Amino acid sequence: MKTLLLNSLEINIKQSDITKETTDAIVNAANKEMIPGGGVDGAINRAAGPDLGSAQRKLGPIETGEAVITAGFALPAKYVIHTAGPIWHDGANDEEHELAASYLNSLNLAKEHKLTSISFPAISTGVYHFPLDLAVKIVFETLTEFSQNPGTVQVINLVNFDSKTNVVYEKYFAMKL
Ligand code: AR6
């Protein structure tokens, strides 16, 4: 795990399974329909139990970049913040702004609920095919913007399932900080 400070925000970059996180909230890379799918969404739903899927479905459909909150049910995390990241087409369809919105809206929701810690997966970089290098740059810029006014939020974990993703995160953040 690598720990960095972004203004007063503690950022932890780690290779792990997000369903094990004990932060106040974990973020789910969901779809607009809010129908539990595969990838991290599937893993979170399996670990949380069937009540999560019922709560999730009731809140759909949502817009790309929007974020909504449910309980965490059987997860160690108290809440799940669900966001629909953009599907990558060619980069000319506002994908970059939409990915930034997914992160910023999730963080603002955590702040509104007076949470202190939140964990993110690498939204949109799986089956939605967002280029990893560009995604990591957007995450860094969005967290930097949020760190100006983080409210109650003190700790942000960037939780990567595979080592390739984790290495790209570590290198980019180390270069910038
Ligand atoms: N913990 C942390 N990260 C994980 C885990 C885990 N347990 N499992 C997978 N990842 P993806 P997307 C990583 O495809 O691209 C679903 O069907 C994975 O390795 O889960 O936003 C939804 O319902 C990758 O780095 O999300 C949507 O329909 C990252 O999570 C669609 O996929 C994101 O990969 C969303 O696609």
Q: For residue 86, what is the domain's CATH number?
A: 3.40.220.10
Would you state the pLDDT for residue 177? 80
Distance 40 CA to ligand 1 centre (A): 4
Is residue 5 situated within a structural domain? no
Distance 121 CA to ligand 1 centre (A): 7
> Are the CB atoms for 105 and 83 separated by under 8 Å?
yes
Pocket of ligand 1 (CB under 6 A): 17-19, 29-31, 37-41, 43, 85, 121-128, 159, 161-162, 165
Given the residues 41, 51, 94, 133, select the one marked as catalytic. Answer: 41
- Give the confidence band of 14 by pLDDT, cuts at 50, 70, 90: very high
- C-alpha 52/C-alpha 36 separation (Å) is 9
Residues spanned by the domain of 109: 18-155
- Tell which phi-psi region holds residue 13, choosing left (phi > 0), alpha (psi between -120 and 50) or beta: beta
Is residue 80 situated within a structural domain? yes
41 is catalytic: yes
Over residues 104-123, the pLDDT tens digits come to 999 999 999 999 999 999 99
Over residues 54-63, the pLDDT tens digits come to 999 999 999 9
Over residues 74-94, the pLDDT tens digits come to 999 999 999 999 999 999 999
**pTM for this prediction:** 0.99
